[in-house]
Amino acid sequence: MHIIDFHMHLPPTPKDPVEAGRKLVASMNKSGVSHSVLIAVETSKSLFKLKMDEKALRKALSESGIHAVMSKWGVIRRIIENPEKVLEEHEYLLAEHRRDNRQILAAAEASGDRLIPVISYNPDITVEENIKCVERNKGRALGMKLFPTFHFIDPGDRKLYPLYQALMDNNMVLIVHTGCDPGIWELPAMCKTARPRSLDGVARSFSDLDIIVAHLGSYSLLEPGIFFHESIELGGKYENVYFDTSAVDIYFVGKAVSKLGADRLLFGSDYPYMVGLTLRDIVCEYIRAGWDDDVKMKILRENAIRLLGLHGWKIP
């Protein structure tokens, strides 16, 4: 089968983006994946330093409540024991995983159409400048991704509406990370804007903007499926909302099929960030899933072809 993967990143090594892209395409060749959506990750160490110090960490802890103490103890204990080290590690990881727009575009261009680039929101520049970036990449990038967690933004913030308008005007999609993120972003107070319900007003106000809720609201190592129910609610209300299945336990994907049907679910691997899993492992789980063949075809290929086609990408 020629699978389309709607959620992939460049690996941290090799550093050279074109080489890293070649490595991805080699994994795709071994896994039956014909095309992948390659997502840029803009991170900001200075923004992190500005937003997060020991005081802010302690505040996030106290706001996270008793539920967090029970379900997120692993993270919380480390913060209490050594907050300085925890902050340092996060700064390091943000820098390590940064793959900016320029790199993604270079890797995609060298891949002969196998990699379809999605640029990242950049928290170091203004909304206006992000809009210019969208305009510059019309026809070159499929869309833009926002990371409410480490970009420290609320996707429902009206200040971002002009950006959504620009994406719509330029026939691009909006992708939003939902759920937690590793480390301190597992704390409820640190991922409260990365919830599908933050997108309710956006989906309503921009009914012609195709919005992809990454991770089905379910991303969490400590609490898988954390905001899954909000994805179902959002998907039930708005036809312009899609969901990618990256980093989601396949149990929740099956549940989404039964609640929403299969027409707006897009296979995503989050490769190579699924530690310990090859792309082939992730694909095989879907091939083996006990769903009807037409459901599998929709999730693994057909929905992606339809959506890409609407935004100017013709898959042969």
- Residue 249 CB, nearest approach to Zn ion (Å): 16
Nearer to Zn ion, 42 or 61 (CB): 42
How many CB atoms within 10 Å of residue 93? 16
| CA separation for the pair 199, 24 (Å, rounded) | 31
Nearer to Zn ion, 179 or 235 (CB): 179
- Residue 219 CB, nearest approach to Zn ion (Å): 8
- Residue 178 CB, nearest approach to Zn ion (Å): 11
Nearer to Zn ion, 64 or 193 (CB): 193
Query: In the complex, which residue's CB is closest to Zn ion?
Result: 270
Nearer to Zn ion, 5 or 270 (CB): 270
At 60, the amino acid letter reads A
What secondary structure does DSSP assign to 239-293, as a single string?
TTEEEE-TT--HHHHHHHHHHH-STTEE----BT-STT--HHHHHHHHHHSSS-H
Nearer to Zn ion, 44 or 245 (CB): 245
- Residue 273 CB, nearest approach to Zn ion (Å): 6
Nearer to Zn ion, 210 or 270 (CB): 270
Give the binding site for Zn ion (CB under 5 A). 270
State the DSSP H helix or E strand holding residue 51, giving kind and residue range, or none if neither: helix 45-51
- Residue 9 CB, nearest approach to Zn ion (Å): 6
At 271, the amino acid letter reads Y
H, E, C per residue of 104-147:
HHHHHHHCCCCEEEEEECCCCCCHHHHHHHHHHCCCCCCEEEEC
- Residue 307 CB, nearest approach to Zn ion (Å): 18
Classify residue 89 as exposed, middle or buried by CB count within 10 Å of its CB (0-12, 13-18, 19+).
middle
3-state SS assignment for residue 214: strand
